[in-house]
Structure 1
Amino acid sequence: MAYDLNLRIKVIEFIESGGGITKTSKIFKVGRATIYRWLGREELAATKVENRQGKINIKKLEEDVKNNPAYASKRKS
């Protein structure tokens, strides 16, 4: 889940002004592990994943269906 940059800034500012991690987590409804990750980052802006690999390689699936048409037709019934 992506959090708004303004929320991230408010959370970090709250901690830097003396708020504890657990208290901050409860107030802002953000997990403690998330807060620790934000504290360890140089930039609070969201990171963009350029190339996310899916679980299924579509080209290999198409090739498999083409090579095994009998099995593919059984699955449709």
Structure 2
Amino acid sequence: MATGPVENCGRETAVGYVQEEGNPTDVQQMYKVRRATVYRWLNLEDLRPTKVKTQKPKIDLAALQQDIGQDPGAQL
């Protein structure tokens, strides 16, 4: 069925298939997603993908610059 990333219509198709046929394992294999993903789709009210607006940086850049300024020859 789907060979690339699952789009909104793919989610709707997958959920419809499970609701009619009742077999999440088939959907898992067809869409190459984990079983947990199929069950998460089944519990969603809106199947549209959500866009992440902001992410916190993993490193505090100000603290990193301060550390580099104190000892520029240090290695990680």
CA offset at residue 57 of structure 1? Answer: 1.4
CA offset at residue 41 of structure 1? Answer: 1.2
Aligned pair count reads 72
In the superposition, the TM-score normalised over structure 1's length comes to 0.75
Which runs of 5 or more residues in structure 2 are unaligned? none
Partner of 1:35: 38
2:61 equivalent among 58, 61, 74:
58
Partner of 2:52: 49
Q: Partner of 2:53: helix, strand, or coil?
A: coil
Work out the percentage of aligned pairs sharing the same amino acid: 30
Q: Which has the higher helix share?
A: 1
In the superposition, the TM-score normalised over structure 2's length comes to 0.76
CA root-mean-square deviation = 2.0
